[in-house]
Amino acid sequence: MTGVDTVTPWPMYIGGVHRMSERVSPVFDPGNGMTVATVPAASSEDALEALAVARMGKDIAANMPTHQRMRILHQTADLIRDRRESFAVLIATESSKTIREARKEVDRCVDTFRLSAEEARRQGGEVIKFDQAPGSENRVGYWQSGPVGVVLAITPFNDPLNLVAHKVGPAIATGNAIIIKPSELTPLSALKLAETLYEAGLPGPILSVLTGLAADIGDLLVQDPGVRMVSFTGGLKTGTHIAHQAGLKKISMELGSNSPVIVLADANLEAAAKASVSGAFWAAGQNCLGVQRIFCEDSIYEEMKERIVQLTGAIRVGDKMDESTDMGPLITEREATRIANWVNEAKSQGAHVLTGGVRKGSYYQPTVLDQVSSGLIVLEEEVFGPVVSLMAVKDLDSAIQQANSVNYGLQAGVFTRDIGKAFDAIKKLQVGGVMINDSSDYRIDAMPFGGVKGSGIGREGVHFAAEAMTEQKVVCFNV
Q: Which listed residue (105, 109, 184, 288) is catalytic?
A: 288
Cα–Cα distance measured from residue 37 to residue 267, given in angstroms and rounded to the nearest whole number: 48
pLDDT 10s digits, 197-235: 999 999 999 999 999 999 899 999 999 999 999 999 999
254 is catalytic: yes
Specify the pTM: 0.95
Strands 35-40, 8-9: pairing is parallel
pLDDT higher than threshold 50 for residue 365: yes
For residue 397, report the phi and psi dihedrals to the nearest 5 degrees.
-60, -40
pLDDT category of residue 1 using cuts at 50, 70 and 90: very low
pLDDT, residue 6, reads: 54
Show the CA angle centred on residue 288, arms to residues 468 and 177, nearest 5°: 30
Going from N- to C-terminal start, the domains of the chain cover 8-255+456-478, 259-444
Q: How far apart are CA 462 and CA 39, in angstroms?
A: 29
The 8 Å CB, 24+ separation contacts for 446-449 are: 446/115, 449/254
- pLDDT tens digits, 106-116: 999 999 999 99
Q: How many CA atoms lie within 13 A of 341 on its CB side?
A: 6
| pLDDT value of position 2 | 42
Residues in the chain, how many? Answer: 479
How high is the pLDDT of residue 8? 87
323 counts as catalytic: no
CATH superfamily of 259-444: Aldehyde Dehydrogenase; Chain A, domain 2 (3.40.309.10)
- In the chain, the amino acid numbered 209 is V
Give the active site residue among 195, 254, 333, 335.
Answer: 254
Residue 381 has a pLDDT of 96
CATH class of 8-255+456-478: alpha beta
Is pLDDT at 343 greater than 90 in this prediction?
yes
Residue ranges in 22-98 assigned as alpha helix (H): 44-62, 66-82, 84-94
Per-residue pLDDT reduced to its tens digit, 263-272:
999 999 999 9
pLDDT-based confidence at 7, cuts 50/70/90? confident
State the average pLDDT over residues 5-28.
91
3-state DSSP of 166-200: HHHHHHHHCCCEEEEECCCCCCHHHHHHHHHHHHC
Angle formed at CA 223 by CA 221 and CA 227, multiple of 5 degrees: 65
Contacts made by residues 221-224, CB under 8 angstroms, sequence distance 24+: 221/47, 221/50, 221/51, 221/152, 221/179, 221/181, 222/152, 222/246, 223/247, 224/51
Q: Please report the pLDDT score of residue 44 as a whole number.
A: 96
Same fold, 8-255+456-478 and 259-444: no
